Structure 1
């Protein structure tokens, strides 16, 4: 009777939960919201910039679009497999890393994830600030501070608000990009763009790497936004809802970036926001486009801020052996992370494009091994049989440190170094491969295979069935 009452009660606008398990009585939402969230989150100006990089850095139109699509599909599979874990575990994504790394050991990838959130948020804040500055006729610094305040408010409200934003962003983004494509291609034949092709392996694989890294970088927090779905939700349907939303949204935005860079050249690179809005001429349409750019960045930056709270909370609770954090602490973490990313945006707003490109590609080194280990463990080793209460107990089934998982992760990072080609670092084997960066492929295959081989015969920590907190002392099967 109590559970029924909980289900039928009007939910609060402010989220109560943090990193703790979501009980069945509080589950809600639909697969459609998974599609709209990730579709809307990808229909934004930063994805346009990433697509444009494929041309700005030497690619053609035809093979850049094909390469970006292949990268979307490959990276989207990794990303959506993480998303399918949410309804089954009822937990934020990175908590499950405690199975592979130990309760304390999971802090290693968690710290790196926090760096990722801050970096992505800073890059997006630069572009959002440009749009808000033009929309409200204020300086860039004021615009960035206004944007940060709105992000803090929305991330503080939490899960429901974020999904509502995704629905709005998907509708607004669709209408905006239909208009932008029509304006951009007016007077230009599709055949002319498609004829722009000069295939080189390096440029093609760069396009693949750009979009694959874009998708893989979502992996550490994608389950944060599916964990409230009912446990009965089909993992396969969850996978396809997330996969289709993120792949279609990102490919549309990146394809626009390819076309814009090819047609506009220097008028686009370094002036992305001004160029996009310039397609709407002046007046009301220009204002709507500025608003659309700001809304798109608001959606994804709120995702980053919310995800950062989950990661910081996972670190703090892992050390302190707690299951959750208070509402005030959650808000404090939101303010802290948004403040840091905004400070970086203010400091680096004039050198955005080159720095963001290098940052995006370099992220692959740290997150492809984590994704490979997490997915191999969940789907192939433990086969979804987790002891959820033990994830919060350093003296429990998963222990403080998992030497095997940590060692494979470190090897997974190191084995990529000879193949890395970024502004931060270039490996010694890159020239032998014609300048092609294949580190992300190595970073998925090698640690995934090593982890499977190292753990397939050591399954003493794997329960016979998934154990959930609601079981109240008994084992509850999924």
Structure 2
């Protein structure tokens, strides 16, 4: 077993992490709640977050004032679910997808875990494509192939080292990317001091709801792996501290770049994000883009790390005696990164649009999962789980399959279909609402009470 080394009173010095999906023992717990704040704050300071904010003014055609409301409200609301998952880490000490076996059963959880692994490899590939486009614009000598390889290499290296280095990477981005983004705001305010907050096309309810949903889903996307980064904290950290530090880190870290994107989108609606940043901030944009690209590498490491843990959980389901350690994480990191690089290198001209729609469809299958997980953890079991059963071949006290969770999960997917609205499919209710996507609301409102009632009924000894 690799030894951990104390480092200047700051916790554990970065070294090869030797654990993967096993429960973190008490003598290996370390860190402070504020580490979660810097992790999620730094991870969101990227050009992808800026581009997401620009959707408010360029795609949903909102005024800057309406965009500010949608971004702030959507992130404040969506981060509640994200942070509730983060609070589970210090208590249970296992990755989120392993804990999911407590609701769905050892094999019943496989579909959810597979979706998460696929989603995170996709996020990694999407980040590579976007970073290549941005870096090539700022530094023409950095061809797309070179840019993709560079960002993939940095993100993969951080994943191989593991948990502690990823924390330190994002902490550095808080300062580097944070200063760059603040400078962009200052320059924009100096160059465009009289921006009309209410200019633009007349606001539509569909546009406002679409912008809010985008911000909500941005936060919900973190839910499947947010506790992967809080599981090393000592149990005495407490759920409240883990919740609030994760919540405000992700909320503030998301709102700032999204507001920058919405402002740039209102000023330069016909330009892509790199061009808009350069047009709005001049020479500063050519400095900020490489820094924000480095921040994308940090965010990519977060996604790849989760994909690796999810893949290990899938394999371990069929090989329960396997104790995956640093070597397994290294091999799988390289393999999954290679898949993402191939996807990015062979991406067509409309890759970002098509794959974003695909990722949104994957998020739709995550909404009923998050409802089931949170209701089960906070309202049914109150955090009381048999962690040893998570890693047993037969699922321990949770068995292979949990019919209640699987039934509610299926209902949650079906009930969202009429409300879905994206480039791949629009349901009948979404069309009636002129393209407003309210699928996540339907999923949460139906699945949460449904699972609570049936699960409580079953636990009280009634027949299922």
| Distance verdict in 2 for CA 1:8–1:328, change over 3 Å | closer
Q: Give the equivalent residue in structure 1 for 2:151.
A: 147
Cα deviation code 1:309-336 (max 9, x no counterpart): 1100111111211363132221111112
- Aligned equivalents of 1:125 and 1:328: distance in 2? 25
Q: Is the 8 A contact 1:19 1:323 kept in 2?
A: no
Offset of residue 197 of structure 1: 7.2
- Aligned equivalents of 2:259 and 2:14: distance in 1? 39
- Aligned equivalents of 1:118 and 1:308: distance in 2? 6
Structure 1, unmatched stretches of 5+, are 462-478
Q: Which has the larger displacement, 355-364 or 439-448?
A: 355-364
1:75-474 equivalences under 5 Å are 75-133=78-136, 134-135=138-139, 137-189=141-193, 192-194=196-198, 196=200, 198-267=202-271, 271-282=272-283, 285=284, 288-322=287-321, 324-348=323-347, 350-395=349-394, 396-459=396-459
What is the Cα-based RMSD across aligned positions, in Å?
A: 2.1
Cα deviation code 1:203-236 (max 9, x no counterpart): 1000111010110010000000000000101211
Q: 1:25 aligns with which of 24, 27, 41?
A: 27
Offset of residue 454 of structure 1: 0.9
Q: 1:62 aligns with which of 44, 59, 65?
A: 65
Q: Is the 8 A contact 1:63 1:197 kept in 2?
A: no
- Aligned equivalents of 1:12 and 1:251: distance in 2? 30
Q: Is the 8 A contact 1:127 1:273 kept in 2?
A: no
Q: Is the 8 A contact 1:131 1:273 kept in 2?
A: yes
Q: Is the 8 A contact 2:45 2:292 kept in 1?
A: no
Q: Is the 8 A contact 1:27 1:228 kept in 2?
A: yes
Offset of residue 60 of structure 1: 2.1
- Aligned equivalents of 2:321 and 2:140: distance in 1? 44
Cα deviation code 1:246-268 (max 9, x no counterpart): 0111011111111101011212x
- Aligned equivalents of 1:81 and 1:437: distance in 2? 24
- Aligned equivalents of 2:372 and 2:146: distance in 1? 43
Offset of residue 435 of structure 1: 2.5
- Aligned equivalents of 1:250 and 1:194: distance in 2? 22
TM, length-normalised to structure 1: 0.90
Offset of residue 459 of structure 1: 2.6
Structure 2, unmatched stretches of 5+, are none
Q: Give the equivalent residue in structure 2 for 1:43.
A: 45
Q: Secondary structure of the residue that 1:304 maps to in structure 2?
A: helix
Runs of 4+ in structure 1 displaced over 6 angstroms?
5-10
| Distance verdict in 2 for CA 1:197–1:68, change over 3 Å | farther
Q: Secondary structure of the residue that 1:266 maps to in structure 2?
A: coil
Offset of residue 187 of structure 1: 3.4
Offset of residue 407 of structure 1: 1.3
